[in-house]
Amino acid sequence: MTEIAVTNFGEHEGEKVFLFTLSNSKGTRISVTNYGCIITELWVADRQGNQDDIVLGFDKLSNYQTGHPFFGAIAGRCANRIAEGQFALNNKNYTLAKNEIITGQHLHGGIKGFDKYLWHAEVTQKNGVVFSRLSPNGEEGYPGNLKVEHSIHLTDDNRIVLEFMAETDMPTIVNMVNHSYYNLDGHKGKIENLELEINADFYTPVDEKTMLPNGEILGVKNTAFDFTHRQKIAEAMKKRPNHDFDVNYVLRKNNSSSPDVTLYSPQSGRKMEIYTTCPAVQFYNGFKLSNKIWNGKEGHRYQAFSGLCLETQSFPDSIHYPHFSNISLYPGEKYYSRTEHLFTIGG
């Protein structure tokens, strides 16, 4: 039986912010706030039964409010990049906020994306919390009034279930993700010794300067991006000149029962399996975290490779490539995605 506790987490623009903590019989505990739907903590047992917090973040709301690299937050309306912040839909041109200064692109929903709003929250009878808000027409340049729901549930068999739902009254684009940074060894080390497997034979290459897809879909075989078999992340990083990964993988989706992604720690024994309805996953190894000083939870200073992201999503910049996954949403349609994270002790 999952228990849910609600506590105060501060204030945002004169309104109270709450922290919702879900815990199950295995001792797994996840905390999420209605400010940006941010997952602030995730405590999971290792092979010895010891609990560690395995996501990066802050102890205080104020740290999230002053800007951060999307620690644990929802990214939307559209996660990832949209070229030059422009797109056309139904013969109409739209201009979005260009908030990634280095590349000049639209990133993760804009200057004030979904991660910077206070969401309505409701505890459900299904062991979780449902967050909702109305994103008005024109917000960050996006067309249409978008009704959004994001639910987070914790089950007794140690699954965290993330669901995203949306409806619109005008043609628009949607691609929402959770942007948690994971380290299965807690805050004790970096992610190089973790082992990763991604059920994907293809990836979408990008221009190294703009980080935008070039429209190609290439095979991972004989490249540094090949995680079709579980391997230590450090070994893959050696094959990259700057040890960097920020790559969109095209998931196989062969209707098997195999996880789409597996992350394992030989040190702690923790294993995280990801199952998703999304067509792709972005693997980011946190190489940019050293660009700024991030003083995280319990005094830990986050640096490059302190945590990694596995963002289940549609392809980046899909609106500009018809052969990529569809991110358009029309009136009468329902946007829906579901991602499960299963935590076990592996080998």
Residues noted as catalytic = 179, 311
C-beta separation of 262 from 271 below 8 A? yes
12 marked among binding-site residues:
no
Which amino acid does the sequence have at 21?
A: T
Angle, vertex CA 147, rays to CA 10 and CA 132, nearest 5: 30
Strand partners, 89: 92
Give the tokens for residue 119: 């969401």
Strand partners, 52: 44
181 marked among binding-site residues:
yes
Using the structure block, give the residue that is written with the tokens 């690299």: 69
Q: Name every residue whose Cβ is closer than 8 Å to that of residue 141 and which is 6 or more positions away in sequence.
A: 85, 94, 95, 96, 97, 110
80 marked among binding-site residues:
yes
Closest listed residue to residue 269, CA positions, set 193, 176, 155:
193
179 marked among binding-site residues:
yes
Which amino acid does the sequence have at 311?
A: E
Q: How many residues does the chain have?
A: 347
Binding residues: 80-81, 179-181, 246
Binding site for beta-D-galactose: what residues are annotated?
Answer: 80-81, 179-181, 246
